[in-house]
Structure 1
Amino acid sequence: MSKTHPGSYSGNPAFTYTLYIPSSPSSVTTLFPLAVLIHGLSRKTEAMLNDYKDFSQQNQCALFVPYFPGQYSYHKMISESDPSFRFDRLLLHMLDEMKRVHKQVDISKFLLHGYSAGGRFVHRFAYLNASRILGLSIGAPGEITLIGK
């Protein structure tokens, strides 16, 4: 049976996530690959999660959908005005915390999809953390993200 698990980041509970684990056809414990879905400025994480549940089930991969609240509108730019706070690092910390509870999810390398502002985040995340990416998908980013921007 598939399961949805809500969670929040211990460093700042305003940053939350939903983890979706598909039902497994096997009784053997499976290490699920992961697809991370990054929302746009509309922050429609529930709709995004629902749109990808069939993909999750067909490909036997877990879905991780972080929520970056409205006062943090610069996730598309990787950092706020304080350069020591970076959204790419925040995402990796959130994944590490989730993994401590959900050991059946492989976070070593993952698929990454972003839409709109989330697409811009994915561009930047890939530049900064290419070794963590299995594949990426970007929808309607608004503009191309060039290295150094």
Structure 2
Amino acid sequence: MGGQKMISCKVLAVTDDPEARKGIVGDADYNMLWYCRADPRFQYWVRVPKGYLEDENRQGYKLVVVIHGTGCEVERYLQAAAPFLEEQHAVLLAPVFPSGLFELRDFNSYKLLACDGIRYDEILLQMIEELRYRYEGVETERFFLCGHSGGGQFTNRFLFVHPDRLTAVSISAPGRPTLIDFEQDYFMGVRDLKEHFGHEIDLEALRKVHVQMVVGSLDCKYVGESPCGSTRIERLKCLKQNFEAHGISVQLNVLDGVDHESLEGDEKRMAAFGEFFKKYM
């Protein structure tokens, strides 16, 4: 610009000397916010357990993906997940889908997986592919997926579209769940799922994924009238019954004394996700 000399970021390239590198950047790139190179409008956080830094073999690390709610409150889950990641030798990826990309007040698009020409499910898979190249030894072919509220909606729908990529999921308090309903169009049902995602729902593949559903005992605010109920507790129980009617086993955890939005609730939810996932790691 204006004839000014360009400065390359390579001038601050980090040395290959492990000790010097540790002194310069510490473990910053193992706890990093990365741009998604496939679509730089979106970013993702990565948290890697401390043991990974000293592990010379770096094999068999499981991948856990946490989807944020409407307010993009990613940091809460990054902090709450730390003990679980260390214990289970797992790596966490948390995508950030910011609001207002096309419409000023839009904060729901990502929950639908496909909206306004963007395939948020495919963006997540691109992030996972980038992670595979950045962090050796992380198993990415199948992973663990969880999300609360808006993130629960994303998890619910991602399960329907990509069951073959999932080992286990935890769906927490989605306000507007998607049922396995062949009489209603997406997002309420799955009648026209192929028109949006290129294939029908695969019930056999769904039955191979371990499913947990989570909701707080105090998450009982009125959220509107629906055939599934007027509170998130009622709607989640409706979703559970729907899954079970189609041969999908579900573990339901109602967290005592937990509401929908508190920091303490997020910590208890992350603990519940972790306890469920540990059984399949």
TM-score by length of 1: 0.89
- Deviation for aligned residue 1:14: 2.5
* Amino acid of the structure 2 residue aligned with 1:56: L
Counterpart in 1 of 2:145?
112
Whole-Å separation in 2 of the counterparts to 1:141 and 1:89: 21
Whole-Å separation in 2 of the counterparts to 1:103 and 1:24: 14
Whole-Å separation in 2 of the counterparts to 1:44 and 1:22: 21
Counterpart in 2 of 1:21?
48
- Give the alignment partner of residue 55 of structure 1, picking from 50, 70, 84: 84
Whole-Å separation in 1 of the counterparts to 2:55 and 2:42: 33
Counterpart in 1 of 2:97?
68
Q: Secondary structure at the match of 1:106?
A: coil
Is this contact kept in 2: 1:35–1:62, CA < 8 A?
Answer: yes
Larger relative CO (CA 8 A, sep 6+): 1 or 2? 1
Give 5+ residue unaligned stretches, structure 2.
Answer: 1-25, 102-106, 181-185, 188-281
Give a deviation string over 1:35-73, Cα, whole Å, max 9, x none.
000000010111111111111111110000110011253
Which one has a larger percent strand, Structure 1 or Structure 2?
1
Whole-Å separation in 2 of the counterparts to 1:139 and 1:55: 18
Counterpart in 1 of 2:130?
97
Matched, 1:6 2:33: yes
Whole-Å separation in 2 of the counterparts to 1:142 and 1:59: 30
Instruction: Specify the structure having the higher radius of gyration (Cα).
Output: 2
Is this contact kept in 2: 1:38–1:65, CA < 8 A?
Answer: yes
Matched-pair identity in %: 29
* Amino acid of the structure 2 residue aligned with 1:70: S
Give a deviation string over 1:94-144, Cα, whole Å, max 9, x none.
111221221222111100001111100001111110011110011111132
- Give the alignment partner of residue 72 of structure 2, picking from 43, 47, 50: 43
* Amino acid of the structure 1 residue aligned with 2:114: S
Give a deviation string over 1:10-42, Cα, whole Å, max 9, x none.
133221111111022874422211000000001
Is this contact kept in 2: 1:19–1:65, CA < 8 A?
Answer: yes
Which one has a larger percent helix, Structure 1 or Structure 2?
2
Whole-Å separation in 2 of the counterparts to 1:108 and 1:16: 21
Is this contact kept in 2: 1:56–1:63, CA < 8 A?
Answer: yes
Counterpart in 2 of 1:80?
115
Is this contact kept in 2: 1:36–1:64, CA < 8 A?
Answer: yes
Q: Secondary structure at the match of 1:75?
A: helix
Counterpart in 2 of 1:30?
58
- Alignment: residue pair count: 147
Is this contact kept in 1: 2:58–2:136, CA < 8 A?
Answer: no
Whole-Å separation in 1 of the counterparts to 2:51 and 2:58: 8
Structure 1 runs of 4+ with >3 Å offset: 25-28
Whole-Å separation in 2 of the counterparts to 1:92 and 1:33: 15
Counterpart in 2 of 1:127?
160
Give 5+ residue unaligned stretches, structure 1.
Answer: none
Is this contact kept in 1: 2:39–2:123, CA < 8 A?
Answer: no
**CA RMSD, 1 decimal:** 1.9
Counterpart in 2 of 1:140?
173
